[in-house]
Amino acid sequence: MFSFKFPVPPEITICETPEDVADAAADLIFRDQSAAIEARGVYRIAFSGGRTPKLLYERLASEEWRVEMNWENWEVFWSDERAVPPDHPDSNFRLAHDALLRHVPIGNVWRMPGEVPGLKAAADDYARTLRMRFGLKLPDFDTVLLGVGADGHTASLFPGHAALESAALVEAVEVPGKTPSRRLTLTLPVINHARGVVFLVVGSDKAETVRDIIEQRNSSLPASRVQPEEGECMWIFDEAAAHLIR
């Protein structure tokens, strides 16, 4: 595993396997939670869904990490969610709950209410939750976990979608062709106000997209527009995802 500096994004780590990606992310989270708790007494992280975050959550639930983390000082949120109940197989909350949350003593978990029939009302409700926890300002998450789709989407921000230009904290989106198509997502102003953003990307099917983001800085790809104003942006790839980067 090695790291090198790059103008956009500011730091990249390339690992051999997806499991190594999860290990590297766990190390980062331990560093960030320790700094946040020392500075402010609380660590606020936004989880994401997907197969790579699942590996990370399982890693954090392992005996090694369970005893290292200050779980009682964590507040867990989500970067996006599908319009399904929390026990549905497609739920990002359920993925994190089954892999991690039910195994560790995190008391403050603020899930996105994907099951609410009126998705706009659910987005507004989650925005109120963010204001309640962070105050009347843009949320300043300590860590936002993100992935990247082969189409360059991140969270539930898809190419060409109006939500990319939203000034709201949370948007309800409809994404034709995706299952489920209705979703909730944090917006770019919230993501870019985080103290740290961590992208986890694995698989050769993402390699061309990774090249377009890292080398060509293709601004039509939503993930390219994640550039924290003052925080870090970390990209952790496996070799398969990164093999087209020069």
Q: What is the pLDDT of residues 22-78, one digit of tens each?
A: 999 999 999 999 999 999 999 999 999 999 999 999 999 999 999 999 999 999 999
Question: How far, in Å, CA of 116 to CA of 84, rounded?
Answer: 8
Q: How far is CA 74 from CA 141, 142, 213, 238, in A?
A: 11, 10, 31, 28
Burial of 86 (0-12, 13-18, 19+ CB in 10 A): middle
Q: What is the mean pLDDT of the chain?
A: 93
Q: Is the pLDDT of residue 178 over 90?
A: no
Q: Which two tokens stand for residue 26?
A: 């766990």
Domain ranges of the chain: 11-242
Across 200-214, average pLDDT = 95
Decide: helix, strand or coil at residue 46. Answer: strand
Q: Is the pLDDT of residue 2 over 80?
A: no
Task: Return the beta strands (E) in 94-195 as ranges.
Answer: 108-109, 143-146, 170-174, 182-186
Higher pLDDT, 158 or 176: 158
Picking from 4-8, 67-71, 148-152, which range would have the lowest pLDDT averaged per residue?
A: 4-8
Whether domain 11-242 has CATH 3.40.50.1360: yes
Residue-wise burial string across 187-211, b where 16 or more C-beta atoms lie within 10 A, e elsewhere: bbebbbbbbbbbbbbbeeebbebbb
- C-alpha distance across the termini of the chain, in Å: 16
Question: How far, in Å, CA of 189 to CA of 168, rounded?
Answer: 8
